[in-house]
Amino acid sequence: MSDPVFWHRLQFGFTATYHYLFPQLTMGLALFIVLFKLLARRVGGERYQDAARFWIRIFGISFAVGVVTGIPMEFQFGTNWARFSQRAGGVIGQTLAMEGLFAFFLESSFLGVLLWGEKRFGRRVHDLAAWALFLGSWLRGYFIIVTNAFMQHPVGHRVALDGTFQIASLFTYLLNPWALVEYAHNMIAAVVTASFVVCAVGAYYGLRDVHQDQAKIFLRTGVVVGLLASLLVAFPTGDRQGKLVAAHQPAALAAMEGRWNSGTWAEINFIGQPDVPNRRLDNPLRMPGILSFIAYGAFDSNVKGLSEFPPDQWPPNIELLYYSFHIMVGLGTIFIALMALAAFQLWRGALAKSRWLLWVLLLAFPFPYIATTAGWMTAELGRQPWLLHGLLRTRDGTSHLVHSGETVFTSLGFAGLFVILGFLFVYLIMREIAHGPVPHGTSATH
């Protein structure tokens, strides 16, 4: 526990995980806001404008927390991962600087207009601001994902004489195949989160018999977008992501499935507990051939087990990696089933009346957050023990002169600060939801 690497990882993992609770909602909501604005123009009527206004208020609160919790991310490259930054800065500095210049400025300039500018600047400028925020936040996502994809699957670089990594081809780096798949998978997952939140608020109003008009819009849009996104996040994006892991991080794939020995007709484990010291999986519930199919597209293909790799290349936390992967996949499957059921009821015109289903939709909103977090933990734990896969080990990337007394101090500081931020966020969001999507100007506090 006094190992400095442990604290550097814990602090970055904690702050990154916490931070990402907010952008995943805002990036998804940005799409919904643009969608509501388009519907307002096509279908007409103030109802969609009211829907857009309501979600802009939620967006604003979530965005603010996302911005401030994102600041430590930028700093921690230098403060906690100095040797990594020094060696990889010649490559990843490109995208981190692009993020600032191309995405941050776009978002921050139009945020105020989107939040407070509708009356003052009129509808056209306001619509423009909605598009700017959508574009800015989705662009920013791309630069971050390219940076992460370089850590997962380094391309476009060369190793200089002094051991640093330098950019060899900016385009190869920017168009990393891993980044394209990871980006699609991640952004669609953000849409899943947002659509579950939109559905949950619709279900909440529906169950309470308030704001019926808006409840219907939220449920209808949320379910349709939610079903599409839940399908797309699994196939093709999740599937492609799995194949990339199989091709480039075979040890990670073996650990994700708790697979010790190689063989054809590799089975997928639905449930089971990995027993790492004894190299086995307890109480498995499995189906043969599926993992082979997922990894290589053929049921009889050979999937390597961990015993094929030297233990110093195994992900060090196999248990957590295994559960993260299974939670992500399990929840993703449940999302498709739930959204398909809701879509069926919607098509029958029975969604608003099925109170039990509304209850399920209401209570379901935390699960996409859990699935997304589990997905990122799968990616990041699976990458271990590497910081740059195959090139630089995590323990060689820390700030070696920063001692644990400093990192424990700052980790605790973040824990305290983020607890308070969480309470404030929940309080303000609950107020907005209680206030409801009522027409502009009817409340003194907005």
Partner 1 sequence: MEMLWFWLVSVMIAIYAVMDGFDFGAGILHHLVARTDTERREVLGAIGPYWDGNEVWLLAGGGSLFLAFPKVLASGFSGFYLAMFMVVWTLILRGIAIEFRSHVADRMWRGFWDFVFTFASVLLPVLLGAALGNVVRGVPLDDSGYFNIPLFTHFGTHNPVGILDWYTVLMGVFVLLTIASHGALYLAWKTEGAVHERARKVALPMWVLTAVLGGLATLATAYVNPDIYANLPNAPLAWIGLVLFLGGLATVFWGQLRRRHLLAFIGSAAFIVGLLAATAACVFPVMLKSSLDPAWSLTAYNAAVSPHGLRAGAKWWFLGFPVAVAYFVFLFRIHRGKVKAASDGGGY
Q: Does 74 bind partner 1 (CB under 8 A)?
A: yes
Stretch binding partner 1 (CB under 8 A), from 212-220, 238-246, 288-296, 403-411: 403-411
The smaller minimum CB distance to partner 1, of residues 38 and 67, is found at 67
User: Least distance (Å) from partner 1 to the CB of residue 92?
Assistant: 8
CA 440, CA 446: separation in Å to the nearest integer? 8
DSSP state for residue 266 in the 8-state scheme = P
Of 34, 155, 228, 428, the one binding partner 1 by CB under 8 A: 428
3-state class percentages of the chain: helix first, strand second, coil last, to nearest 5: 75, 5, 20
Q: Does 401 bind partner 1 (CB under 8 A)?
A: yes
Of 10, 83, 261, 404, the one binding partner 1 by CB under 8 A: 83
Site for partner 1 in 17-56 (CB under 8 A): none
283: left (phi over 0), alpha (psi -120 to 50) or beta: left
Of 6, 75, 235, 347, the one binding partner 1 by CB under 8 A: 75
Stretch binding partner 1 (CB under 8 A), from 38-46, 256-264, 350-358, 423-431: 423-431
CB 20 within 8 A of CB 28: no
Q: Does 92 bind partner 1 (CB under 8 A)?
A: yes
Helices 4-42 and 177-208 cross at an angle (nearest 10°) of 60
Of 6, 44, 116, 363, the one binding partner 1 by CB under 8 A: 116
User: Least distance (Å) from partner 1 to the CB of residue 434?
Assistant: 13
Among 374, 85, 137, 406, smallest CA distance to 256 is for: 374
Stretch binding partner 1 (CB under 8 A), from 189-197, 221-229, 239-247, 417-425: 417-425
User: Least distance (Å) from partner 1 to the CB of residue 61?
Assistant: 7
CA 113, CA 270: separation in Å to the nearest integer? 48
Site for partner 1 in 131-160 (CB under 8 A): 160
Site for partner 1 in 229-258 (CB under 8 A): none
User: Least distance (Å) from partner 1 to the CB of residue 378?
Assistant: 27
Output the CA–CA distances (angstroms, integers) from residue 287 to 293, 331, 334, in the order listed: 11, 18, 18
CA 342, CA 361: separation in Å to the nearest integer? 8
In order, the DSSP letters of 352-402 are TT-HHHHHHHHHTTHHHHHHHHHHHHHHHHHHTTEEETTTEEGGGSS-TTS
CB 28 within 8 A of CB 372: no
User: Least distance (Å) from partner 1 to the CB of residue 310?
Assistant: 30
3 state DSSP class of 164:
coil
The smaller minimum CB distance to partner 1, of residues 96 and 320, is found at 96
User: Least distance (Å) from partner 1 to the CB of residue 402?
Assistant: 5
Sign of CA dihedral 359, 362, 367, 368: positive
User: Least distance (Å) from partner 1 to the CB of residue 15?
Assistant: 10
Q: What is the largest CA-CA distance in the chain?
A: 69
Q: Does 109 bind partner 1 (CB under 8 A)?
A: yes
Q: Does 78 bind partner 1 (CB under 8 A)?
A: yes
Q: Does 96 bind partner 1 (CB under 8 A)?
A: yes
User: Least distance (Å) from partner 1 to the CB of residue 242?
Assistant: 32
312 has which bridge partners? Answer: none
280 has which bridge partners? Answer: 275
Of 3, 41, 46, 71, the one binding partner 1 by CB under 8 A: 71
Of 10, 16, 38, 89, the one binding partner 1 by CB under 8 A: 89
Site for partner 1 in 163-192 (CB under 8 A): 164, 166-168, 170
